[in-house]
Amino acid sequence: MRAGEMLMLKRLPPVAFALCVAACSLVSPKFEKPNLYVLSVAMTGGNFLQQNFDVKFRIQNPNDRALPVSGLHAELNIGGDQIASGVSNHAFVVPAFGDSEFDMTITANMAVGLLKLADKLNKHLDSIDYDLIGAVSIDLPFMRNLPFHQNGSLPLNGHPN
């Protein structure tokens, strides 16, 4: 083999890999992030350091195709500190342009949350910021997790913000 042919053979695998990745991205369906809302929270047990809550969520699918969910994980941060998290392996399908409700057990450390709340009250602030972050696992070929991030503020004075 000549030097030119050897050089061409060495370049072939990276070029083939790049073409395969590009082809997969064309085949992979594009999904918009789902919207996740908390509908209700009920304490199911715990102690001073750890509490368990049954949280009912609604997930909305803004896509024109059904969203087969194989699981979900979520984390609640208040004032920059994680105070609650949970996972669910309950599979369900969210219809196209529709919504579904599901329950999930969340484990929380309310002691950290109460310390954050006391700190904000001492500073005479009207609200405390929260972040709900996580990802929905999709059961489709070539799909990754669909992350979500919602934030807002919880009123400390009894008036919604």
Res 33: pLDDT? 77
Mean of the pLDDT values across residues 11-15? 56
Please state, in angstroms and as integers, the Cα–Cα distance from residue 80 to each residue in 77, 85, 128, 153, 158, following that order. 6, 14, 10, 12, 22
Confidence of residue 23 (pLDDT cuts 50, 70, 90): low
Q: How many CA atoms lie within 13 A of 101 on its CB side?
A: 6
Mean of the pLDDT values across residues 19-27? 52
Query: H/E/C letters for each residue in 19-88?
Result: HHHHHHHHHCCCCCCCEEEEEEEEEEEECCCCEEEEEEEEEECCCCCCEEEEEEEEEEEECCEEEEEEEE
> Across-strand partners of 150?
132
Q: Does 15 have pLDDT greater than 60? A: no
Encode pLDDT of 80-125 as tens digits: 778 889 998 889 999 999 999 988 888 988 777 677 667 766 676 6
DSSP at 8: H
Q: Does 49 have pLDDT greater than 60? A: yes
Question: What residue spans define the domains of the chain?
Answer: 1-30, 31-155
Please state, in angstroms and as integers, the Cα–Cα distance from residue 33 to each residue in 30, 80, 110, following that order. 10, 23, 29
Structural fold of domain 31-155: Immunoglobulin-like (2.60.40)
